[in-house]
Amino acid sequence: MSQEGLALAVERMRARGMGPEAVTVFEHYYRQLEEGAQGTIPEDTIEPLADPQALGEVRVSDEDARRALRQTAVIKLNGGLGTSMGMSGAKSALEVKDGLTFLDIIAQQVLSLREQWDVELPLILMNSFRTSEQSLEILGRYPTLPVDGLPLDFIQSAEPKLLADSLRPVDWPEDPELEWCPPGHGDVYVSLVTSGVLDSLLAKGIRYAFISNSDNLGATCDPDVAAWMVEHGLPFVAEVCTRTKSDRKGGHLATRTSDGRLILRDTAMVAEGEERFFGDIKRHSTFNANNIWVDLVVLRERMAEREGFLGLPIIVNRKTVDPADPASPEVVQLESAMGAAIEVFEGSEALLVPRTRFRPVKTTNDLLVVRSDYFVLDESYHLVAVGEGPEPFVDLDSAYRLVQGFEKRFPHGVPSMVECTSLRVIGDPVFGRNVRCVGDVLVDGLRRVHDNAVLEGPVEAPAEPPRTEQRPAADFRTVDQHLRAILSTLEPAPTTTVPLTEALGLAVSRDVRSRVSLPPFDNSSMDGYAVRAASLAGAGGGAGGADGSGVPLRLVGEVAAGEDPSFVVGPGEAARIMTGAPIPEGADAVIAVEDTDGSADGSVLCRASVPPGRYIRPRGEDVSEGSVIVSAGDVVNPRTIALLAACGHATVEVHRRPHVVILSTGAELVPPGKALQPGQIHDSNSSMLWAEAVSAGASAEVRGVVGDTDAELLAALDAVVAEADVVITSGGVSMGAYDVVKSALAGQGVDFVKVAMQPGKPQGFGYLAAPDGRRVPIFALPGNPVSSFVSFEVFVRPALRRLMRLSPEKRRVRTATLTAGLRSYLGRRQFGRAVVTRNSEGALMCTPVAGQGSHFVADLSRANALFIVPEDTADLVAGERVDVILLDD
């Protein structure tokens, strides 16, 4: 961080034609960033927003509404590129409903209001430098839209993206436009002034502006709000909606206790440790819809009073320079929020509006619902819900996150959602025509959802019909059906706070902010001398010392790492300093000891000049105090632990590691190390399952072998269920006379089924009741070692990872080339053991091990992968491609 970085950024802004107001705002925020500003709003400084006026209670006459609309303009924030959805152009150019883009719908909404109320009602876009051309081309379809004397758009300011490590403007020759960014929607006030649009609106008699996001189709210019604002002479109105659990991360309005003014608190403004207050929807019962109404006369007065900028709280947005390339350099964008201006306007009010005024499309999940038949466009182009229930909840897998992937998987349109309450898709199936979702729907592991399919409940949607000889028996489950039956019932493990030494491999349950800046003070990156750079002017150039070879500086002290210097370095002075030691007051640079005579007392001869900042690691260069250092959902690794410790955290809140208790059944089993009697074998399953559970991230213990009677098993389970989070048994689940697990637990909350797989056909899953009321999952696995191992990999590992909220839940599937042919059972999915290697060209090669029987432990130990043969395949020959799961990944 340096004056050099700011100077370079300002130079670029001026060269691009940014006005003095925009430069002033950027300088203001840059200095705040250097000073480590976080803009947090502690809970004890605010009171919740109390009883705002409800729009439903507002009563205005038609004449008052018409009079207000004649003084109003619609301004849409339209600078977004939709990069989070994989778009590179204007997000508002995305087709969102009935073949219409956001901008088409907005234009039609405005034209309809004009016709209905006989008003001029200008529409103006605040575009970024990357959205203007495309957006105006769309609006060009509506020749009556422009208003004489007013433009259809103005361009918001642009500012350089700053390298996160140095705060210098980033250079990106691959696409120089990516070196620039808009400064957030709080820039609307400055850009209205610098573009001249504010003066043009006032000259036309337009006093009020309704400002909202272009991707919020519910944000229409409501005449009742406009008339209410005019009637009460309000300078600023912010719309709020009633908060639900899904809105806990959204910003909210509150009242500042020190002066009684309304303020906006966003997620980034929450003080550390107060996230529970922010997310408390009973305490803070409304959220900011980002629809605002502004008196433009008052805005002009406030801008003049504050010399061209409102001084809104800073937002530090960290991204990569190319949003589509996560490997590109990390950059900082300095932004502000439009709604934060509410505290600048004395007499501002909040207005409680219905949820229908908040219909944003931020993700492809939102896009699916808006495109579906749950919503229709009425004659005024308002987005109207026709479903009787609440808006469906949608959670699409990562393959659908970007618009391109979304469109590929819904080539014939999205499903009918009018009868749907929730839709979750795991995997990346392609949806056919006329698919209908009913109730709560879970689609998992399919490649395709067929035309006219009706999806209902956590059951497999229609799939490719197998040939008659391939169809599993009626009493068989598919692998996907059984896994879905398990995962759909699991609740994430509770959260707990643990020491860093116990957090490895666990998922963080909420954002963690740094308690300190790193480094916490300006310090030296070299052994040398702390100096004022100006004192070394001419050193090394023959104009400094008496012999023309350097500049002598008087030594005033010495600083070692861990010390706190009490002296000041003045002009012509220096202090000996060690690597990591704090920079003493007055010094602004360090000269390396190699460029001096190395003196330890008296004076030191310096033979080189240095610029300000040389060899100084500034405070917060690595991490700023209060910044998010670990996000919720991140998995703790050794590097995470180092960061948390460095930032002052001895503990971290995580999703708890489940404790797995393992029981083997069978009178023939003997613990390893104990002598075998006739008919006995050593218990290998318990040790193997313990290792499998630990490798999946759980804690585990082996409770030994249980005999072959129901009473013995039930007694053993009673002894462990109070301590266990998960119980795993092996053996006793088939059709034999001594299959104790099945006989003891069938009908007691555990389902025993046959799964169309080989090995591992007999499976059991259910829940045991713990004394404290918990439901403890129990997996009853087959007893053959390979069957038990494969069953764990296919069913138990994903379940444990879901409990811990670890992603991905399943091991990654890759494709390899078979080196030998193999045969499989039609109608069953085979999981065979194999050794996978890479050939000289780096391609994966799969060699099945010799013994594929479910009792071959030695061959299992040699394998490093499982190959997967689908249910509809009986033979594969050498050279064919096969899916493999690498066990050592």
> Annotated active-site positions, please?
362
Handedness of CA 554, 556, 560, 562 (dihedral sign): negative
Q: Where are the beta strands (DSSP E) in 434-539?
A: 436-444, 448-449, 454-457, 476-477, 495-499, 512-513, 523-524, 528-531
- Tell me, what DSSP letter sits at residue 736? S
**What strands lie across the sheet with 349-352, from one edge to the other?**
53-54, 349-352, 236-242, 286-295, 208-213, 72-78, 123-127, 153-155
What is the DSSP annotation of 642-684?
A: HHHHHTT-SEEEEEPPPEEEEEEE-TTEE-TTSPPPTT-EE--
CB atoms within 10 A of CB 396: 22
CA distance 425 to 417: 14
The total number of residues shown for the chain amounts to 889
Please give the helix or strand (H or E) that residue 460 lies within, else none: none
Beta strands at 123-127 and 72-78: parallel, antiparallel or unpaired = parallel
287 touches 249 (CB < 8 A): no
The three state secondary structure string of 843-860 is CEEEEECCCCCCCCHHHH
Name the 3-class secondary structure at 538: coil
Helical packing angle, 20-34 and 3-16, nearest 10°: 160
Token pair, residue 292, equals: 């605002």
Cα first-last separation, the chain: 41
- Tell me, what DSSP letter sits at residue 10? H
274 touches 43 (CB < 8 A): yes
Q: Of 173, 164, 104, which Cα lies nearest the Cα of 139?
A: 104
725 touches 493 (CB < 8 A): yes
CB atoms within 10 A of CB 811: 18
Helical packing angle, 223-232 and 62-69, nearest 10°: 90
CB atoms within 10 A of CB 8: 16
CA-to-CA separations, 594 to 184, 534, 599, 606, 608, in angstroms, rounded: 47, 19, 11, 9, 10
With b for 16 or more beta-carbon neighbours within 10 A and e for fewer, the 705-733 pattern comes to bbbbeeebbeebbeebbeebbbbbbbbbb
605 touches 516 (CB < 8 A): no
CA distance 886 to 835: 9
Token pair, residue 275, equals: 């996230």
Token pair, residue 585, equals: 């007051």
CA distance 719 to 716: 5
